[in-house]
Amino acid sequence: MNVSRSLTLLLVLTLLIFSCTKEDDIPGNERSQPDSNAIQIELDEGLASKSGDLRDGKALASLDWAWSSSSACFATPIAHRYAGNHIFYTVQLPVNATISIKLIPDDMGSDMAIYGYSTSGESAILPEDLLSCLTCEADPASGESSSNKEYRSIEIGSVKLFEDLPQIPSTVLIGVAGAEGVTAGAFTLEIALDK
């Protein structure tokens, strides 16, 4: 094996390890865990619909993970749009596929946001444990203009690391969050897979 190929393989393995590493696995780094576990969503013929309520979630102790350079989900100036309760879902994303996710609040005036990120492998990593992700997308709660939107949506595609290496499926963690002070609100998630 030539040196260039060895270095490429080492880089890929390093990226995969860090995208699947939880912060608690790093010695000396203990953080409080959110009480809410991620709910697994199974796709039936590439589609799923799931109802939920923010009252079943909990506010996160920190949103620092969201604006770190290794995830870049959303920026500090809009953190208040994600400061309410969060509830988490996971879905598997096959290789060479894209997933579209719609958040439809029962009350169109509700200040709810949606975000999602993918990590390699089949394990879900909750936000406060996230060191890095392959990709992240968000559609924030937007105050007065929320009442004009019937839904918020994101789209996440699989990431191809290197052409000549085998690709692996990834896990998408979907977060539904209330804006600051929002601790309840019913919603429906509609998920569609496009291969």
* pTM (two decimals): 0.78
pLDDT tens digits, residue range 129-153? 999 999 999 998 765 544 457 899 9
For position 92, what pLDDT does the model report? 94
CA distance 178 to 56: 12
Domains of the chain: 3-24+33-194 (2.60.120.380)
**E-strand spans in the chain?**
39-40, 47-53, 86-93, 98-105, 112-120, 135-139, 152-157, 170-178, 186-194
DSSP 8-state code for residue 185: -
pLDDT tens digits, residue range 30-51? 333 333 489 999 999 999 999 9
CA distance 118 to 116: 7
SS3 181: coil
Provide the residue type at 32 as one letter.
Answer: S
Q: How far is CA 70 from the centre of its chain?
A: 13
Average pLDDT over residues 19-28: 43
pLDDT tens digits, residue range 73-82? 888 888 999 9
Q: Which of 62-66, 119-123, 169-173, 176-180 has the lowest mean pLDDT?
A: 119-123
